[in-house]
Amino acid sequence: MKNATLSDHSQSNDAFSDLYLLSASALLLAFALVLGWYNLATLNLTPPHDPLTGLSVRVLFWIVAGLFLAAAAICLVARSHSIRILLVVWLAANFEGYQIGLLFTGSHALRSYSGSFSSIYGLPRPVLELLVQGGFLYLFTGGLWLRLWTRFKPRRLLNQKAASELLKTVCPACGGHIEFAAQNLGQEIPCPHCQKTITLHKPDLLKMACFFCHGHIEFPTHAIGTKMACPHCNMDITLKEPA
């Protein structure tokens, strides 16, 4: 039951990562479309120059829109969760760094552009700024949290799995099969079958030769009597205690 719970827990977190990356793709696509539409709507106007990069604002917005579109596509098709999450965090961190740079140039961050965006999209300036800031804050904090989680999750789950792994042994008194957690190795318990005190230890491996190809096979004592395919010749055999 514990192993099943660990598996479900891992799958649920992978599903959360997929949901985050899907939402990040949607946000990046939306930001790219907003910038593209802004450029198209202001074609008849002379664009100002960005105070930080020195580029025309129209050129800068096309570059950023292209980056957002490429990142959205990568988030949808790339296989590695880590690479996709790091890409989103990097973009969001660059946006925050850009705002800090604007402040050092004497600009008022998003307020340098939000006025014209507000008139084009018909949204109040505070609402527009809140949507943009909230979107990038979600991209940055969500991606950073997931990156830290995926970095330390394997080690944590491995330790939990090792602690909850079930081992099998055989009672030396009655031959009954016993399952126990790995962390209970070395403990003395009453056998659940005959009630005699036994010490839990890892099962000893038995050896036998395949009846057909004479290949050597190792198996735990609790597997005696089990039918299986020989790993050498693939013929069906029954595991028996060596004579």
8 A C-beta contact, residue 92 and residue 102: no
Give the separation between CA 217 and CA 128, rounded to whole angstroms: 70
Q: Do 27 and 132 fall into the same domain? A: yes
Of 163, 183, 218, the position where a domain reaches its end is: 163
Q: Do 92 and 148 fall into the same domain? A: yes
Q: Do 55 and 111 fall into the same domain? A: yes
118 occurs within a structural domain: yes
Give the separation between CA 96 and CA 23, rounded to whole angstroms: 19
Query: According to the 3-state scheme, what is the secondary structure of 130-166?
Result: HHHHHHHHHHHHHHHHHHHHHHHHHHHHHHHHHHHCE
Q: Do 12 and 77 fall into the same domain? A: yes
Of 163, 196, 221, the position where a domain reaches its end is: 163
Q: Do 103 and 189 fall into the same domain? A: no
- Residue 150 sits in which domain range? 2-163
Q: What percent of the chain is modeled with pLDDT above 90?
A: 19
Q: Do 190 and 159 fall into the same domain? A: no
* Residue ranges of the chain whose pLDDT lies below 70: 1-14, 107-115, 150-165, 172, 175, 203-204, 222, 243
Of 163, 195, 225, the position where a domain reaches its end is: 163
Distance spanning both ends of the chain, measured CA to CA: 37
Backbone φ, ψ for residue 240 (5° rounding): -130, 155
The pLDDT score that the predictor gives to residue 2 is 38
**Based on the structure, what is the number of domains in the chain?**
2
119 occurs within a structural domain: yes
pTM, two decimal places = 0.57
The pLDDT score that the predictor gives to residue 6 is 39
Q: Do 143 and 208 fall into the same domain? A: no
What are 131-179's pLDDT values in tens digits? Answer: 888 999 999 999 888 878 766 655 555 555 555 567 777 776 776 778 8
243 occurs within a structural domain: no
Q: Do 129 and 217 fall into the same domain? A: no
- Inter-CA distances, 21 with 70, 139, 157, Å: 14, 9, 23
Q: Do 65 and 151 fall into the same domain? A: yes
Q: Do 88 and 204 fall into the same domain? A: no
The pLDDT score that the predictor gives to residue 153 is 58
User: Which of 147, 19, 23 shows the shortest CA–CA distance to 87?
Assistant: 147
8 A C-beta contact, residue 25 and residue 75: yes
Contacts of 210 (CB under 8 A, 6+ apart): 216, 217, 230, 232, 233, 235, 237
